[in-house]
Amino acid sequence: MTAVDTTLPVAADGRSKLRRLVVIGNGMAGARAVEEILARGGGGTFAITMFGDEPYGNYNRILLSHVLSGEEDDGDIFLNSLPWYEDNGITLHAGVRVTRIDRFARVVFADDGSLTPYDELIIATGSRSFLPPMDNLRTPTGALLPGVFAFRTLDDTRAMVAYADRSESRHAVVIGGGLLGLEAARGLQRFGLEVGVVHAAPHLMSAQVGPQAGGIIRRKVEALGIRVHTSARTTGLLGADRVEGLSLATGAQLACDLVVVAAGIRPNVDVAEASGFTVERAIVVDDDMRTVDDPHVWAVGECVQHRGEVYGLVAPLWEQAVVLADQITGRDPSATYHGSRPSTMLKVAGVDVAAMGLQGPERDDDEHVVFTEPSRGVFKSVVVRDDKVVGATLVGDTSKVSFLMRAFDQGIPLPAERAGLLFELGGPSDEVGAVELADDAQVCNCNGVTKGRLVACVHADATTVQQVMEQTRAGKGCGSCKEQVCAIVQLAGRGVIEEDPAANWYVPGIPLDKPTLMARIRELELTSVSSVFTALAPAGAEDAKSKMGLASLLKMMWGEKYVDEKDARFINDRVHANIQKDGTFSVVPQMRGGVTNVEQLRAIADVAEKYAVPMIKLTGGQRIDLLGIRKEDLPRVWADLGMPSGYAYGKSMRTVKTCVGQEFCRFGTGDSTKLGIELEGRLQGMESPAKMKLAVSGCPRNCAESYVKDVGIVAIEGGRWEVYIGGAAGAHVRKGDLLATVDSADEAKTLTGRFLQYYRENAKWLERTYAFVPRIGLERIRSVVVDDAEGEAARLDAAVQQHADSYVDPWSEGAKPAEPGQFRTALPLTVLPTVGVRA
């Protein structure tokens, strides 16, 4: 044994007390693990040394098919170039292979004769191409027969490109009809080659999809001019000096001058095996990502076997790297890896394919929802077990993929009508698949952001959906494109997009989800937004984007005890009017149920004349809107109107639209106007996570559009009322779900309030009921709101009553401003308004 210093390194000057971390493998797993360690301050704990087989920095292996197809330059796919290692104080031995680990002496031996001591060791040796046994694969020297290529490394790809580019290359055959094989085939067509695919299994992409989907992919691939041979096992290669063809088990022969072997991968376990580590299908690790043999030796990535599973996709590797880093740095000793549920979404040979979990039903009571339309090249299948998605395959139309992936990952509730798993039946949607969308297609119609801009942002440096949305402002307008933005970012990131922990926070500035946040607020009795920041925000920092959501939540929780700090409020809520494009405001007085009278109309007409209101407009909610009012005029306008606020500005209950009802309508079966007026009086000004629009219709002709409201009530024959929830007819269109049919208007009123209170307490900030109801599930809402299964009904009713009792018309602030300069003009300081006025 060579003398090796295994004590903690203390340099001669006594300065450095860093522990030695050695990483074997500089691929996506090794580098990612190091990045995660650095992100946890590991740079101050560890002196890091990395060994990489390949003489490069670290690159995105997934994008090699893009290099082959010419979509990207080989320089574009680097994740960390050589200067990154230097900048982070990492010693990189690129092009050096570790041959053995002595875990008793804690030292690794490399093929350059070096020996490197470690305190902690990470094995991230990844995988290599599997080359199935076949005759004449190698020359007597052991090299691959010239013209035969694996497809795993940058060097493989570069050599393949050079060979394909030779003028004498005519025919190429790819062995393996999986994802990588099909991408290789498509990429090789760029060089003008005739390309065929030889696949041993009966259908293409047999690892990801079932036979039907495989058949549809085959048709698409063949339409591109790629010949496909399935159930075709390659037994040998032909040619003496270089490849000239291959022979199949059937005895048939295919002539070709280039062969790519893409028949799967095998974990690189030689070093671990030779060094005495437990290796089954791969290196066995525990839930901490430690090898089971040595607490100072860790392993991560495709070379790892965890709970019997070996993963060949990138997402599990990211999850493993996080746990490893939490453990090795001691940042979170409770972090554990429980395995992954990998899903893939890709475009293979021009076809969108998404696959996750099971390909088909496995148990007798598994539900299997299948749709196939071969002529259009579409196949969709979902496997449901115990009301959870346990598998899905989408080919040719991946418009439902983001929903299904969430359902698969997080077990969100499924639509009772299973067809909704495969098709858009209303509600939030991403109608056009992220893949089909052209680069110049506008995704966010509010802020004019194209798909290309989102993709560029991901390729630059964004690693979370949130960052992309921050940088491009996509999804920051009406929000209706958010799902599509997510889908595009996921696609562009090809799996390198991180799950954003902030996605579950109620507001971005406080790292807590809504239930936890509410519990802390109650526990600490935080009644103002500034006190919430002081107590719960990181470093007590205020966050402008969180203020409005917190103000709404605190008002809902504390009612009259809420301390209203005006700076926590959006301008609309500060001056109780809706800001317009020129800085003027719109004023909408309350007109309960859309019913008005001579006095109100006269007052409105007088105000419009007195203040030279540039536009008087009837709203969709059956009120009258006075547009172009100057901020400084608001108090006088309100006083002259003598009417209460109609709340046409806040995240709150807006209006209850009604039809004429039985009073005049010859079809009316219920007194819809009376119920609408009462509801509006009871719920007026109620703050909520997003606006709430209600309606009451006097008969199923539904003139008040009750089916598409947050809560819609419809009178039916026999004095009964239907209550619908979660409808929408704005940026999204969704027909509401029937919550209950009740016997009296009073019951309808109670259920409406109870549901809205439940929504206020449980919805995410800015989550409309059309998203909230499907997320929670109608059955669950019904059990709480209608059946009172949790004994919450009385409390919810009391909260509504308390709101009604403590309600104060905000327009009363006109007579007594709440703070200095509340109604002072902000802009411009010259004459207003400047909005073009219609004659």
Partner 1 sequence: MTATALVHDLGSLAEIPAGEGRAYDVAGRQLAVFHLRSGALRVVDAVCPHRGGPLADGQTDGRVVICPLHLTAFDLETGCAVGAAYALATYPAHVDEAGHVVVQVPA
Options 84, 130, 570, 611; binder of partner 1; rule CB under 8 A: 570
Q: Which stretch binds partner 1 (CB under 8 A): 142-150, 543-551, 707-715, 736-744?
A: 543-551
Q: How far is the CB of 820 from partner 1 (least distance, A)?
A: 5
Interface residue with partner 1 among 341, 473, 494, 780 (CB under 8 A) is 473
Binding segment for partner 1 (CB under 8 A), chosen from 8-16, 111-119, 559-567, 725-733, is 559-567
Single-letter amino acid code for the residue at 29: A
Binding test (CB under 8 A) with partner 1, winner from 78, 99, 825, 835: 825
Nearer to partner 1 among residue 71 and residue 819 (C-beta): 819
CB of 248 or CB of 579, closer to partner 1: 579
Q: Which 424-463 positions form the footprint of partner 1 (CB under 8 A)?
A: 447
- Shortest Cβ distance from residue 748 to partner 1 (Å)? 37
H-assigned helices in 211-348: 211-223, 270-274, 314-328
Q: How far is the CB of 560 from partner 1 (least distance, A)?
A: 21
CB closer to partner 1, 115 vs 460: 460
CB of 809 to partner 1, least distance (A): 22
Q: Which of 170, 338, 522, 566 binds partner 1 (CB under 8 A)?
A: 566
- DSSP class of 811: G
* Residue 829 within binding range of partner 1, rule CB under 8 A: yes
In this structure, what token pair is assigned to residue 547?
Answer: 């203020």
Task: Tell me if 271 sits within 8 A of 125, measured CB to CB.
Answer: yes
Q: Which is nearer to partner 1, 396 or 509 (CB)?
A: 509
CA 577 to chain centre: 34
The long-range contacts involving 364-369, CB below 8 angstroms and separated by at least 24 positions, are 366/390, 367/418, 369/418, 369/419, 369/421, 369/422
> CA 254 to CA 196: how far, in whole Å?
9
Minimum Å distance from CB 512 to partner 1? 18
Among 102, 543, 632, 797, binds partner 1 (CB under 8 A): 543
The answer to whether residue 509 forms part of the interface with partner 1 (CB under 8 A) is yes
**Contact call for residues 195 and 187 (beta carbons, < 8 A):** no
CB of 485 to partner 1, least distance (A): 14
**Whole-angstrom Cα distance, residue 530 to residue 543?**
10
Near partner 1 by CB under 8 A: residue from 4, 292, 544, 837: 544
Contacts by residues 746-751 (CB-CB < 8 Å, ≥ 24 positions apart): 747/721, 748/675, 748/713, 748/721, 748/723, 749/675, 749/678, 749/679, 749/682, 750/797, 751/723, 751/785, 751/786
Residue from the set 456, 579, 786, 804 that interacts with partner 1 by CB under 8 A: 579
* Pairing status of strand 624-629 against strand 615-618: antiparallel
The answer to whether the beta carbons of residues 780 and 757 sit under 8 Å apart is no
Q: DSSP secondary structure string, 17-61?
A: -PEEEEEE--SHHHHHHHHHHHHTTGGGTEEEEEEESSSSSEE-G
Determine the Cα–Cα distance for residues 93 and 52; give it in Å rounded to an integer: 6
For partner 1, the closer CB: 374 or 828: 828
Cβ contact 260:174 at 8 Å: yes
Instruction: Give the binding range for partner 1 (CB under 8 A) out of 233-241, 359-367, 789-797, 826-834.
Output: 826-834
For residue 508, count other CB atoms closer than 10 A to its CB: 16
Binding residue (CB under 8 A) for partner 1 from 270, 286, 470, 500: 470
Which listed range, 19-27, 69-77, 473-481, 656-664, lies at the site for partner 1 (CB under 8 A)? 473-481
Nearer to partner 1, 567 or 599 (CB): 567
Does 564 bind partner 1 (CB under 8 A)? Our answer is no
**Gap between the Cα atoms of 312 and 424, Å rounded:** 32
Binding mask 477-506 for partner 1 (x = CB under 8 A): x-----------------------------
Q: How far apart are CA 443 and CA 709, in angstroms?
A: 26
- Contact segment (CB under 8 A) with partner 1 among 126-134, 328-336, 355-363, 574-582 equals 574-582
Which of 541, 794, 798, 837 is in the footprint of partner 1 by CB under 8 A?
Answer: 541
With contacts defined by CB under 8 A, name the span among 395-403, 422-430, 564-572, 772-780 that binds partner 1: 564-572
Take residue 622 and report the two structure tokens written for it. Answer: 């059956």
| Residue 474: both structure tokens together | 């996509």
| Residue 307 near partner 1 by CB under 8 A | no
| Total of residues contacting partner 1 (CB under 8 A) | 38
- Other Cβ atoms within 10 Å of 88 Cβ, number: 15
CA distance 33 to 294: 18
Which window, 110-118, 250-258, 353-361, 580-588, contacts partner 1 (CB under 8 A)?
A: 580-588
Q: Identify the residue among 340, 471, 527, 600 touching partner 1 (CB under 8 A).
A: 471
**Closer residue to partner 1 in complex, CB, 14/836:** 836
- Give the residue, chosen from 87, 133, 334, 581, that forms a contact with partner 1 under the rule CB under 8 A: 581
Give me the least distance between CB of 631 and partner 1, in Å please: 8
Out of 20, 453, 514, 547, the only residue in the binding site for partner 1 (CB under 8 A) is 547
Q: How far is CA 460 from CA 166, 466, 491, in A?
A: 34, 14, 15
Does residue 545 touch partner 1 according to CB under 8 A?
yes
Among 227, 476, 720, 780, binds partner 1 (CB under 8 A): 476
Q: Tell me whether residue 465 or residue 659 sits nearer to partner 1 (CB atom).
A: 465
The CB-of-568 to partner 1 minimum distance in angstroms stands at 8
- Residue from 74, 102, 286, 582 touching partner 1 (CB under 8 A): that is 582
Nearer to partner 1, 201 or 512 (CB): 512
Question: Could you tell me which residues come within 8 angstroms of residue 769 by beta carbon, excluding any fewer than 6 positions away?
Answer: 690, 692, 710, 711, 725, 726, 727, 728, 759, 763
DSSP 627-642: EEE-GGGHHHHHHHHT
| Nearer CB in complex with partner 1: 478/729 | 478
What's the rounded Cα separation, in Å, for the pair 773 and 692? 13
CB-nearer residue toward partner 1: 457 or 799: 457
The residue among 112, 517, 498, 456 whose CA lies nearest residue 325 is 498
From 7-15, 281-289, 472-480, 646-654, span contacting partner 1 (CB under 8 A): 472-480
Q: For 737-792, where are the alpha helices, taking DSSP H only?
A: 745-762, 769-776, 778-785
- As measured in angstroms, the least distance from the Cβ of 818 to partner 1 is 9
Q: Binding partner 1 by CB under 8 A: which of 75, 718, 821, 836? A: 821
The DSSP symbol for 414 reads -
Q: Count Cβ atoms below 10 Å from residue 165 Cβ, excluding itself.
A: 12
401 or 449, CB closer to partner 1? 449
Q: Write a three-state SS string for 357-408.
A: ECCCCCCCCCEEEEEEEHHHCEEEEEEEECCEEEEEEEECCCCCHHHHHHHH
Between 341 and 473, CB nearer to partner 1? 473
Q: Provide the phi-psi class of 76: left if phi over 0, else alpha when psi is between -120 and 50, else beta.
A: alpha
Binding site for partner 1 (CB under 8 A): 447, 470-473, 476-477, 509, 530, 541-545, 547-548, 565-572, 574, 579, 581-583, 819-821, 824-829
